A and B are shown apart, each in its own frame.
Chain A
Amino acid sequence: MQETNQHITHKNEAVISIRGLYKSFGTLDVLKGIDLDVFKGENVAVLGRSGTGKSVLIKILAGLLKPDKGNVTVLGKDVSTLKEKELDALRLKIGFSFQNSALYDSMNVGQNLAFPLQMNFKNLSKKEIDTAVAEVLDAVGLKNKINEMPADLSGGQRKRIGIARTLILKPEIMLYDEPTSGLDPVTCIEINELIKEVQKKYKTSSIIITHDLTCAKATGDRVAMLLDGKFFKVGSFDEVFDTDNKLVQSFFNYNFIK
């Protein structure tokens, strides 16, 4: 668990550590040798074009997909070998914010937020659950939406509720899948702020998947660029984009319209 990496100057423990990760679907090789450490309390932004396997990567971290090869350690546990019970215990410490929010259509906002608590902690009183729901709704700034149905929310509001639903379990690790995709620039900035607030308030370590450089720059303590199934470079924003690599440059230029 206390695995520290010499060439990165963090003295902290790594909460996520990925070594030599491979994943393919049929003949399609998606991840081809991924190495990454995420240290306690830091946000790592993972950048990459559509279809490069960003979502696949964090789905493996949450145990939704099995890796073909390689080691994936989260909070000291090897995810791919865990038994169902142990995996569930680990999942309670991981917050997963889905690309399309994945709110439960049949429940209103309050029920969506209460559901993970009710299912996992049967002995909580109604009052305790209500308090927790109010707290996370407050944290994402949507207190007045508690009785609305997901279908009646805007995209940005859905994203916030999705994040709130993961926060209610007080996760140690947050995995954000494209938190700003499909949102206008102003809302993007608000979501970026929210991600940083969550990092501070809930003391989470996070992976933020995105193809939006503004989001990566604003939220990521470090940035990792996924190119052709591998990380091209992991480091500060400037380190990663100070390069001659044409693919990385085009990504950068497109985002900032140089």
Chain B
Amino acid sequence: MPHSKFKEKINNYFIGVSDAASFVGLFFKQVFSVPFHFREIINQCYVVGLKSLPLISLTGFITGMVFTKQSRPSLETFGATSWLPSLMSIAIVRALGSLVTALICSGKIGSSIGAELGSMRVTEQIDAMEVSAINPYKYLVISRVLATTITIPVLGLYCSFIALIGSFVNVTMYESTSFIGFFEYGFASITFLDVFTSVTKSVFFGFTIGMVGCYKGYNAANGTQGVGKAANQAVVLSMFLVFIEEIVIVQVSNWIRLY
């Protein structure tokens, strides 16, 4: 009966949500308890950083440059191109840097975590850890989630910086500005709250990307299909959540700004 099928779907949805919630809950339960796998955390930070650095450098630079180029005509009509450094700094630091980083890492890091843990699940490597009295959640999930939570904010700041350089390159092609002058002018229009919000956002993005990748991989269904599906779903879901978080955090920071 279609009615009971619908009921089953709703049921499965809520089972899924509660599964995910307890998966996340386990993180906060176990993250502060021994043993700490420091070496694995550092190792994962290294992997996350190294994997996404080239792409973030390139995308950041191009985003900064293109954004500046496209904004120029509309400012020119008011003869206000001298505002470009501050306009770009605000756009990049407040939104673009962390968002571009999060989207790239969703694709690059989220999928690789999903595929890696997925294949470990499917080939029983996770079970193998469990039967040798190693807590696989702690060793695999916590180290990866901590790594993304630490590394992605750093990458976000780095991306903002590279984007500003991209922006400077475009500005300096049309107007005579010095590197220092550009940054001094740009930074003058950025407040502490801007940077703080941006880093906070990145922390949430990082946590989300790591968590979603791990959740999808850790619970991958059997078979090689399960691995591909885990990787794919990790990307889709973490991108979706990144946008939601972006909207919510921007709202909250705007309220704070008012006071």
Contacts of B139 in A (CB 8 A): 119
Residue from B116, B123, B132 in contact with A91 in the complex, judged by beta carbons closer than 8 Å: B132
Q: Are A88 and B123 in contact (CB under 8 A)?
A: no
List of A residues within 8 angstroms of B119 by Cβ: 105
Q: In angstroms, how far is the closest chain B Cβ from the Cβ of A65? A: 10
Instruction: Report the count of interface residues on A (CB-CB < 8 A).
Output: 26
Q: Which residues of A contact B127 (CB under 8 A)?
A: 59, 64, 98, 102
Taken together as a complex, chains A and B put the C-alpha atoms of A104 and B127 apart, in Å, by 11
Can you name the residue of chain B whose Cβ is closest to the Cβ of A64?
Answer: B127
Cβ A116 vs Cβ B124 within 8 A: no
Question: Are B132 and A119 in touch, CB under 8 angstroms?
Answer: yes
Interface residues of B in 147-182 (CB under 8 A from A): none
User: Interface SS of chain B: helix, strand, loop or mixed?
Assistant: helix
Q: Do the beta carbons of B134 and A119 come within 8 Å of each other?
A: yes
Given contacts A105-B119, A119-B139, contact A166 B125 (CB under 8 A): no
Tell me if B79 is interfacial: C-beta within 8 Å of chain A: no
Could you tell me if A116 and B35 are in contact, using CB atoms closer than 8 angstroms? Answer: no
Complex Cα distance, B125 from A192, in Å, reads 24
- A91-B131 in contact (CB<8A): yes
- Given A119-B139, A122-B35, A62-B123 contact (CB < 8 Å): no
- A120 and B124 within 8 A (CB): no
The residue in chain B whose Cβ has the minimal distance to the Cβ of A166 is B132
- Kindly identify, within residues 29 to 79 of chain B, every residue whose CB is under 8 Å from any CB belonging to chain A: 35
Name, among B123, B127, B128, the residue most crowded by chain A CB atoms within 10 Å (CB to CB).
B128
Q: Is the CB of B123 within 8 A of A116?
A: no
Is A136 part of the binding interface, using a Cβ–Cβ cutoff of 8 Å? Answer: no
**Chain A positions within 8 Å of B134 at CB level:** 115-116, 119-120
Complexed CA–CA distance, A91 and B125 (Å): 16
Assess whether A187 is interfacial by the CB under 8 Å rule. no
The reply to whether A120 and B133 form a contact with Cβ atoms under 8 Å apart is yes
Indicate if the CB atoms of B124 and A102 lie closer than 8 Å: yes
Closest Cβ of chain A to B214, distance in Å, is 15
Q: Is the CB of B125 within 8 A of A92?
A: no
Question: Measured between alpha carbons, how far is A94 from B133 in the docked complex, in Å?
Answer: 10
> In the docked arrangement, what's the CA distance between A166 and B132, Å?
8
Query: Known contacts being A102-B123, A119-B139, is A64 close to B131, with CB within 8 Å?
Result: yes
What are 16 sample pairs from A and B whose C-beta atoms fall under 8 A apart?
A: A63-B130, A64-B131, A91-B132, A94-B131, A99-B124, A102-B124, A104-B128, A105-B120, A105-B123, A105-B125, A115-B134, A116-B133, A116-B134, A119-B35, A165-B132, A166-B132
What residues of B have a CB within 8 angstroms of the CB of A62 in the complex? 131
Q: How far is the CA of A120 from the CA of B133 in the complex (A)?
A: 7
Which residue in chain A gives the minimum CB-CB distance to B130? A64
Q: Are B132 and A89 in contact (CB under 8 A)?
A: no
Min CB distance A170 to B, Å, is 12
- Bound: A92/B130 CA distance, A: 10
Q: Does A100 contact B (CB under 8 A)?
A: yes
Chain B proximity of A166: nearest CB distance (Å):
7
Q: CA separation between A27 and B201, bound complex, in Å?
A: 46
Which residue of the partner chain A has the closest CB to B39?
A118
Interface bits A133-172 vs B (CB < 8 Å: 1, else 0): 0000000000000000000000000000000011001000
B205 smallest CB distance to A (angstroms): 26
